[in-house]
Amino acid sequence: MIDEIAKQYEGRIPVPLIEEVKREAKEVKLTKAQAEAVFAKLEEKYKYAKIQAGEAIGIVTAESFGEPGTQMTLRTFHFAGVAEVNVTLGLPRLIEIFDARKEPSTPLMIIYLKKPFNKDEKSLEKIIAQIKEIRVHEVLSEISINLLKLHVEYVLNKKRMKELGIPEDSAIKAIKDALKTIDLTEKDGRYTATPKSKDGGLPALYTLKERIKEVKVNGIEGIQEVIPKMENNEIMLLASGSNLKDVFKIEEVDFTRTITNNIFEVAKNLGIEAARQTIIAEASKVIQEQGLDIDIRHIMFISDLMTSKGEIKGITRSGITEEKESVLARASFETPIRHLINASLIGEVDMLNSVVENVMINQPIPLGTGLPSLITKLAKESKK
C-alpha cells in the first residue's frame, strides 16, 4: 500500500527521504489516509527546503568553512586513545586537504584484512612483517668506514633478522640491487662495499655509508610503522606511511575496504570518484574531531569542485583560481601583474560573467537577484 503512494512521489522527493518514510511507516503502522497525508506534508516541506535558482551557493559554502575556521585549534598532533598513530588534525590538516598537497604531512593507512586473517592473531605478525618497511640500519650490528682501504664495512645482526623473518640473502640482494656502483664481498659475516670508481674519495664513502643504511630490505616502501588495532570485533592495521598500490598486492589484505589519507594516491589507484570520497571523509574527520558542525553538503561541494575536472585541483592560485576564465577575477586574487601581462600577450577578453569583475566596474553581479534579466521584443523600426 505504502509503496504505491511512494511511487507517485518518485522524482518529486529524493529517494532517501522516501525510503525513510517507508521505514518509519512500517514501525508506526500508518493507515492509507495517514500515509498520504505524510507524503503530502513531506512534499510541502521539501518544496520549501528546495534550493532556489541563482542562490550563491559557492560563497555560502566558503563562509561555512571560513567562519568556523577561526575557531579551530592549531594543535597539530592528536593522540586518539592510547596506542594510535599520530595524525595531523585541526586547521593545518584542513589547509592541507584544500591545498591538495601531494603528500600529507602524516600519511596514514587503515588496512583491513580478509576473512580468516582478520580474527587470527597468530598470522598477524607475519602480515605486519610483510607490510612494515625495514631498512638496513635496523638490522645492522655495526657499520664503519675503512679509511685505509677506502671502503665501507658492515655486519648484519642475524638474530634481529631472524626475528623479523628476513632471509640474509634477500638483504644482500636488496643492497646489490639498490646500489649498482659498488662491489660487495663477504668474509666471516663481514661485508665490504667498495665503490667501483675511486673518484669520489672520502666524501663519496660517507654518502655510500648513509645510502647503505637507508636501503630497504623488506616490507613496503614508505610504511614506517604498523600497529594492530581491534575494532568491531576484527583486527585491522593502522600504518603510518602510505603506499596503496603495494599494500593491495599483499594477499591477506582486504583491498575493498583498505584506505589511505593520501588523496593523490587514491586518485591514481582507485580513480577520481574515490578521491572525491576521500576528500569528503578526511575533511569530515577534521571537522568532527574539532567538535564543529558543518553540513555534509558543504564538504561534498568543495570536494566536487576540486575533482570535477577529472584531476585534483587545489584551492590555490595554481589550482582552481588558475582555471578561471576572467582575467580580472584571477588578477584580483594573487599575482595581478603576471595575469595582466599574460592577458595582454594573447589579447584575452574578459566577458565579465563572474562576480568580482562586475563588482569592479559597479555593475550588478550575475548571482541571486542580479541574475534575472528582461528580454523584450523590439518593435521593428518603421521604414522611413
- 299-318 binders of other proteins (CB under 8 A): 300-302, 304-305, 308, 315-317
The site string for other proteins over 51-90 (x = CB under 8 A, - otherwise) reads xxxxxxxxxxxxxxxxxxxx-xxxx-xxx--xx-x-----
The site string for other proteins over 346-365 (x = CB under 8 A, - otherwise) reads xxxxxxxxxxxx-xxxxx--
Which of 315, 293, 318, 296 minimizes the C-alpha distance to 306? 315
Q: Are 166 and 255 spatial neighbours (Cβ–Cβ below 8 Å)?
A: no
Site for other proteins in 214-253 (CB under 8 A): 225, 227-228
Report the residue number, 191 or 277, with the smaller CB distance to other proteins: 277
Report the residue number, 77 or 206, with the smaller CB distance to other proteins: 77
- Shortest CB 211 distance to other proteins, Å: 27
Distance, CA of 87 to CA of 76 (rounded, Å): 8
Question: Within a 10 A sphere around the Cβ of 242, how many other Cβ atoms?
Answer: 23
Q: Are 307 and 276 spatial neighbours (Cβ–Cβ below 8 Å)?
A: yes
Assess 156 for contact with other proteins (CB under 8 A).
Answer: no
Report the residue number, 140 or 227, with the smaller CB distance to other proteins: 227
Distance, CA of 127 to CA of 137 (rounded, Å): 21
Site for other proteins in 1-60 (CB under 8 A): 14, 16-17, 20-21, 24-25, 28, 30-31, 33-34, 37-38, 41-42, 45-46, 48-60
Assess 122 for contact with other proteins (CB under 8 A).
Answer: no
Assess 298 for contact with other proteins (CB under 8 A).
Answer: yes
Q: Which residue has the cell 512521489?
A: 9
Q: Is 274 helix (H, G, I), strand (E, B) or coil?
A: helix
Q: Give the number of residues in contact with other proteins, rule: CB under 8 A.
A: 115
Pairing of strands 134-135, 216-218: antiparallel
Question: Within a 10 A sphere around the Cβ of 63, how many other Cβ atoms?
Answer: 12
Site for other proteins in 169-198 (CB under 8 A): none
Which of 291, 316, 290, 303 minimizes the C-alpha distance to 76? 290
- Shortest CB 294 distance to other proteins, Å: 6
